[in-house]
């Protein structure tokens, strides 16, 4: 009589890492992870750091276009004094030239442009 062989046990296929995490967390956990990730992205791309907390320029760009000497003194006394004390601002022709050390050029330039019009200010690296 023919011998009946038992059927071999079914092998489970290995899950991929992403499926394994979803399997562990179940739908509620996966939704929570997605929600936290979305909130992180919104927070990361919507908050900008203020170079000088609470600073508001005393006048607007139109006023400073007429009074470049006041713009230079405001930059020297307030903004540059707090952001980079080695930087200086002086009136040259119809703009204010800000001279910044090379190691802090990018940060200082970004701080000045956050508060003042780019048409009124030009930047140079000090040597």
The pLDDT profile of the chain, 127 residues, written as one tens digit per residue, is: 788 888 877 777 766 777 777 777 777 877 888 899 999 999 888 877 788 888 889 999 999 999 999 999 999 999 999 999 999 999 998 999 999 999 999 999 999 999 999 999 999 998 7
**Which two tokens mark 37?**
């990730």
Q: What is the pTM of this model?
A: 0.62
In this structure, are residues 97 and 68 in contact, taking their beta carbons and an 8 Å threshold? no
Give, in words, the CATH class of 61-126. Answer: alpha beta
Continuous H helices in the chain: 17-46, 61-66, 68-74, 80-83, 105-115
Q: Which residue(s) pair with 9 in the sheet?
A: none
N residues, the chain: 127
Q: Where are the domains of the chain?
A: 14-47, 61-126
What pLDDT sits at residue 88? 94
């Amino acid at each position: 009589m023919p011998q009946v062989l038992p059927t071999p046990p079914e092998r489970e296929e290995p899950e991929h890492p992403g499926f394994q995490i979803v399997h562990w967390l179940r739908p509620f956990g996966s939704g929570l992870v997605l929600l936290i990730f979305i909130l992180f992205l919104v927070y990361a791309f919507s908050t900008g750091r203020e170079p000088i907390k609470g600073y508001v320029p005393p006048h607007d760009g139109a006023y400073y276009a007429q009074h470049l000497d006041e713009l230079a003194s405001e930059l020297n006394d307030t903004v540059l004094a707090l952001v980079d004390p080695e930087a200086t601002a002086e009136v040259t022709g119809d703009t204010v030239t800000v001279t910044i050390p090379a190691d802090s050029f990018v940060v200082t330039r970004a701080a000045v442009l956050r508060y003042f019009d780019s048409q009124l200010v030009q930047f140079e690296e000090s040597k």
